[in-house]
């Protein structure tokens, strides 16, 4: 170790004028081209496309604008304007999404045995299920909003939660991504939830199974792993990890598709910065897990788990000494 991670080119350039520097670029571009050709997608002989991150981000925002019209982009809120708006946005979403699904299936799979026609039909079919699922998602989100309003004294109205709560945004994107996940769409669901993770600090895997009326408050640092199951009316605070027990090095592939993350039953509350690990760990209904706790075993229903207060040391602070 301790080598610089990027080796410095020691020799001084013999270039002096801007033109002489620009003349050195073609050689750089050629080596980038060579590196691309030897990589994952470099064997293409004709024009194809991959799904793109910017398209997926556009899909998320379009779906959110359909679910909550007028909140994020200024539009008229009378029925005529709204009719045009929802019509236009839903059609554009369907078009965008079906295209991205087709490209994802074509690229994300080892066995791309499907014909182009079959692929096209599959893309349209899943995109239709997605837009048809939107009213159902909207109803689920209404319950999530109500759960937040009930649980957080700082929440003043449902409008405030829709406009500004990162927990609601993360749950919205999860619920949308999960529709694509259960249809076996590769790549897109994870790009969606990781976009929300970037925006909110809340990392919910699209494969998690989550019931109704979830409230995630503050939320920064929350992790909900791929095989987690969460019941109804669960409340989770910032920094909570629902994760996997650690694995031996390089054992990753062996544990794919196994239940590795906990089960949280109905009406459970989990306070901030608590970590719950393991596929066999079940937190029983109506239990309350205090903050800052590390749980790797099941907890029965109707139980309160608290950390026995660790001993604190109080010293007079001279003001000059270094605090440890």
Q: Is 224 helix (H, G, I), strand (E, B) or coil?
A: strand
Distances (CA, A) of 92 to 59, 67, 96, 132, 170: 9, 14, 6, 14, 23
N-to-C CA span, the chain: 30
Q: Which of 112, 118, 184, 247 binds its own copies (CB under 8 A)?
A: 247
Cβ 30 to its own copies shortest distance, Å: 9
Is 153 a binder of its own copies (CB under 8 A)? yes
Q: Which of 97, 101, 105, 210 binds its own copies (CB under 8 A)?
A: 210
- H or E element in which residue 204 lies: strand 203-204
Q: Which of 111, 113, 116, 324 binds its own copies (CB under 8 A)?
A: 324
> Site mask, its own copies, residues 277-306, x = CB under 8 A?
---------xxx-xxxxxxx--x--xxxxx
Assign 3-class secondary structure to 269-296: EECCCCEEECCCCEECCCCEECCCCEEC
Is 14 a binder of its own copies (CB under 8 A)? no
Cβ 191 to its own copies shortest distance, Å: 5
> Site mask, its own copies, residues 40-69, x = CB under 8 A?
xx--xxxxxxxxxxxx----------x--x
Cβ 232 to its own copies shortest distance, Å: 6
The interface with its own copies within residues 212-231 (CB under 8 A) comprises: 212, 218, 220-221, 223, 225-226, 229-231
Residue 139 or 280: the one with the smaller Cβ distance to its own copies is 139
The interface with its own copies within residues 168-197 (CB under 8 A) comprises: 175, 178-179, 182-183, 186-187, 190-191, 193-195, 197
The interface with its own copies within residues 117-146 (CB under 8 A) comprises: 120-121, 124-125, 127-129, 131-140, 142
Assign 3-class secondary structure to 67-94: HCCCCCCCCCCCHHHHHHHHHHHHHHHH
Q: Is 242 helix (H, G, I), strand (E, B) or coil?
A: strand
Size of the site for its own copies (CB under 8 A): 193
Cβ 81 to its own copies shortest distance, Å: 6
Residues 6+ apart with CB under 8 A from 300: 284, 287
Token pair of 228, please? 């987690």
Nearest one of 287, 168, 290, 171 to 224, comparing CA atoms: 171
Cβ 303 to its own copies shortest distance, Å: 6
Q: What are phi and psi of 63, to 5 degrees?
A: -65, -40
Strands 203-204 and 229-230: unpaired
Cβ 281 to its own copies shortest distance, Å: 13
Token pair of 130, please? 């997605």
Distances (CA, A) of 286 to 109, 220, 222, 236, 300: 41, 24, 20, 13, 9
Is 90 a binder of its own copies (CB under 8 A)? yes
Cβ 124 to its own copies shortest distance, Å: 4
């Amino acid at each position: 170790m301790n080598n610089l991670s990027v080796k410095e080119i020691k020799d001084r350039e013999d270039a002096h004028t801007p033109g002489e520097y620009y003349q050195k670029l073609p050689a750089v571009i050629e080596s980038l081209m060579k590196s691309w050709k030897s990589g994952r997608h470099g064997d293409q002989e004709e024009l194809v496309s991959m799904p793109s991150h910017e398209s997926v981000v556009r899909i998320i925002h379009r779906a959110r604008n359909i679910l909550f019209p007028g909140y994020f982009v200024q539009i008229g809120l009378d029925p005529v304007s709204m009719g045009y708006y929802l019509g236009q946005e839903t059609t554009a979403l369907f078009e965008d999404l079906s295209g991205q699904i087709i490209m994802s299936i074509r690229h994300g799979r080892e066995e791309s045995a499907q014909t182009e026609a079959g692929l096209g039909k599959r893309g349209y079919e899943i995109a239709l299920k997605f837009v048809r699922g939107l009213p159902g998602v909207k109803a689920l989100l209404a319950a999530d909003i109500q759960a937040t309003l009930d649980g957080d004294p700082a929440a003043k109205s449902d409008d405030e939660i829709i406009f500004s709560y990162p927990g609601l945004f993360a749950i919205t994107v999860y619920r949308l991504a999960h529709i694509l996940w259960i249809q076996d769409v590769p790549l897109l669901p994870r790009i969606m939830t990781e976009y929300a993770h970037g925006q909110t600090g809340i990392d919910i895997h699209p494969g998690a199974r989550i019931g109704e009326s979830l409230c995630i408050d503050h939320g920064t640092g929350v992790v909900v792993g791929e095989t987690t199951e969460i019941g109804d009316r669960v409340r989770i605070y910032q920094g909570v990890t629902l994760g996997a027990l650690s694995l031996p090095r390089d054992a990753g592939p062996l544990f794919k598709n196994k239940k590795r993350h906990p089960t949280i039953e109905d009406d459970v509350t989990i306070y901030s910065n608590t970590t719950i690990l393991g596929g066999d760990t079940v937190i029983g209904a109506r239990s309350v897990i205090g903050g800052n706790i590390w749980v790797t075993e099941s907890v029965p229903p109707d139980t309160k788990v608290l950390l026995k207060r660790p001993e604190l040391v109080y010293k007079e602070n001279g003001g000059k000494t270094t605090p440890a």
